[in-house]
Amino acid sequence: MKFAHISDTHLGQYRSKKDRINDTYNAFEQTVEKCIEEKIDFLILSGDIFDRSHPPNNAILFLMKQFMRLKENGIQSYFILGDHDQPKTRQNAIHWIYSMTNSAHHLGDGNPVKFKDVLLYGFDHHDIGNDLDELLEKFKTIDKEILSHSGHKILILHQGLNDVHQFAGEMNVNDLPKNFTYYAIGDIHKNFEKKYDFLEGPLVYPGSIELASTEPIKESEKGFYIIDISSEKAIPKWIPLELRPRFEVESEEKDVENKIDELISKIDPSHKPLVRLTITNLENFDQIRPKIEQLQEKVLELSYSTKSSDEQYSIITDGTESLDEDFKRLATENVGPELAKMAFEKLYPLLNEDKKEIKEIIMKYFEDFKEGRKI
């Protein structure tokens, strides 16, 4: 028996270019195609399927079509909600449409579901200061509940773990229940796989299937996992996706024109790449500006920055990847991880949605501050 573990697809996220919107859809379609080719039995989506809780209609219809395609090929789909796509109000029930149409099943309430002899426990995203403590308490009870089950046991979460990413962390690996044979986790956008001695099975983050709008341009692979559970152990296999070319180039000013010419020679005009250019020891930007403008015409997105010693400063960013990543880093350094997390996970996703809820969040944190409580 085999299943696929996918996460952080962020369908419907804002992109400045239509080609980048299509890149995300193409990555998902490629994922579904590989799942069908591999004849998996079921699929798990561990949160942030959509980029926000009120996704655009085309994103909803696209996902419905992919779920139906999987079902037509005998593949059952299961999902939980992440911090991005979790409904902010009870009235927003779009994610339960899939359950009602039997195209996919929501597992986020923590009630166990069986697929043949596989036991699935899924929890939607839980927030620090809200319901995270409740989740940690639940972990203690389910560890005992699953001991009597002889088949595979899979825990599905959308949470940051300090052991994997110190700034995204909401809990520690040691907080997790210990007796699951596979830990299917989402939230962190870089793939991660590790077998801890105190956990029965491997802990896995597939990462995002495409660069999200808050990720800088990187050459690192994107993909998902297919897990073989034919034996007593869960054996994950990384499946890379074929995405739009991405290049990271760093050069001193004296060599940058040659570096750009070399890069241009590699570019396929029919499949324009994403490029991140870092220039060190820059003294005369006007001298290299024409060459950078030439490169910009050849690529779909270009972000470039200058670096001197250990400092790096952004000059121009085409798109939002570097800007958002730098903003998040600076916010964490200056106001601390907790306030930065509140800004990015609570306020930032709502800017184009529920203005009333933004006001309520700001007032709550202001009242906490006045009363001298730790925010």
pLDDT at 50: 92
HSE, side-chain direction, 13 A CA sphere, residue 206: 35
Q: With 90 as the cut, is the pLDDT of residue 235 above it?
A: yes
Other beta carbons within 10 Å of 239: 19
From residue 203, how far is each of 200, 215, 226 by CA, in Å?
A: 9, 23, 13
pLDDT at 186: 96
Q: With 50 as the cut, is the pLDDT of residue 360 above it?
A: yes
For 109-120, the pLDDT digits (tens) are 889 999 999 999
Instruction: Name the band, by pLDDT with cuts 50, 70 and 90, for residue 354.
Output: very low
pLDDT at 270: 92
Other beta carbons within 10 Å of 268: 8
pLDDT at 361: 57
Query: Please, are residues 292 and 265 in contact by the beta-carbon 8 Å criterion?
Result: no
For 99-144, the pLDDT digits (tens) are 656 788 999 888 999 999 999 999 999 988 778 889 999 998 998 8
pLDDT at 236: 98
For 323-338, the pLDDT digits (tens) are 455 555 555 555 555 5
What CATH class has 2-240?
alpha beta
Instruction: Name the band, by pLDDT with cuts 50, 70 and 90, for residue 84.
Output: confident
Q: What does the CA dihedral 315, 321, 322, 325 come to, rounded to 10 degrees?
A: 150
Per domain, the residue ranges of the chain are: 2-240, 246-323
Q: With 80 as the cut, is the pLDDT of residue 159 above it?
A: yes
Q: Does 369 or 73 have the greater pLDDT score? A: 73
* DSSP 8-state assignment for residue 90: T
Q: Are strands 223-228 and 235-240 parallel, antiparallel or unpaired?
A: antiparallel
Q: Are strands 105-106 and 113-115 parallel, antiparallel or unpaired?
A: unpaired
Q: Which residues 6+ apart lie within 8 Å of 282 measured at CB?
A: 253, 288, 306, 308
Q: Report helix, strand or coil for 350.
A: helix
DSSP string, 121-145: EEB----TTTTHHHHHHHHHHHHHH
pTM higher than 0.85 for the full model?
no
pLDDT at 320: 41
Locate 329 and state its tokens: 């880093």
Q: Which residues 6+ apart lie within 8 Å of 232 measured at CB?
A: 181
pLDDT at 295: 95
Q: How many residues does the chain have?
A: 375
Measured distance CA(267)–CA(289) in Å, rounded: 20
pLDDT at 146: 93
Helix axes 285-298, 256-266, angle to 10 degrees: 10
Q: With 90 as the cut, is the pLDDT of residue 14 above it?
A: no
Residue found by looking up tokens 């909600």 in the block: 81
Instruction: Name the band, by pLDDT with cuts 50, 70 and 90, for residue 369.
Output: low
For 37-67, the pLDDT digits (tens) are 999 999 999 999 999 888 888 999 999 999 9
Which residues pair with residue 311 across a beta bridge? 308
How many helices, marked H, and strands, marked E, lie in the chain?
Answer: 9, 16
Query: Please, are residues 211 and 264 in contact by the beta-carbon 8 Å criterion?
Result: no
Q: What is the mean pLDDT of residues 250-255?
A: 92
Measured distance CA(59)–CA(108) in Å, rounded: 21
For 270-314, the pLDDT digits (tens) are 999 999 999 988 888 889 999 999 999 999 999 988 877 555 444
